Amino acid sequence: MNHVVIIGFMGSGKTRAGKQLSKDLGLQFVDLDKLITKKMNLSAREIFEKFGEPYYRALETVALKQLIQDSERKVISLGAGVPLQEQNEKYLKELGTIVYLKGSLTTLKKRLADSKKDPMLDGEDRDDKIKKLLKQRDPVYQKFADIQVVTGEVPFEELIKEIEEKLSTYEKNS
């Protein structure tokens, strides 16, 4: 099934863009993190704290496999860590067209300044942590991306239009 799959760093706008794309394309929207937290009846932070990161990553992989089996095309927003897990590589390729929302360090720092949601940002100096994670994750996201757009530099409507145009062109040529 060729789903539209959105990847990117936390704060890049995956959920917002995914919801708008699903509305415009007439497809159901699925947020992988929400799927997991609803099933577990715990927040991502609570799952991390109770069971640890490896457990959460395993839940993501199980959810990915289930989405591949889904014959109804969807727009799917993935958690920022999903592409980093080696076991997910083959599933991501099977899932559909990958759209990478690439945020600049400035944009992401601004958007994540007050976020308490993501346990990956706990601990060290937040700006340093964002910079370090971005440096580690960007090449991985780029490797998977069929389409790449920069978020935070144009109005939201223009960003969505750019994604839709690139998606249409990409899917025509695939």
- Residues in the annotated binding site for substrate: 33, 57, 137
HSE-up of 126 (CA within 13 Å, CB side)?
15
Q: Which residues are annotated as a binding site for Mg(2+)?
A: 15
Contacts of 83 (CB under 8 A, 6+ apart): 7, 89, 92, 137, 140, 141, 144
Q: Which residue has the tokens 């927003």?
A: 77
DSSP assignment, residue 152?
A: S
Q: Which residues are annotated as a binding site for ATP?
A: 11-16
CB atoms within 10 A of CB 80: 20
Distance CA 100, CA 80 (A): 11
State residue 2 phi and psi, 5-degree precision: -95, 80
Residue 148's SS3 state is strand
Distance CA 99, CA 163 (A): 8
Q: Which residues are annotated as a binding site?
A: 11-16, 33, 57, 137
DSSP assignment, residue 153?
A: S
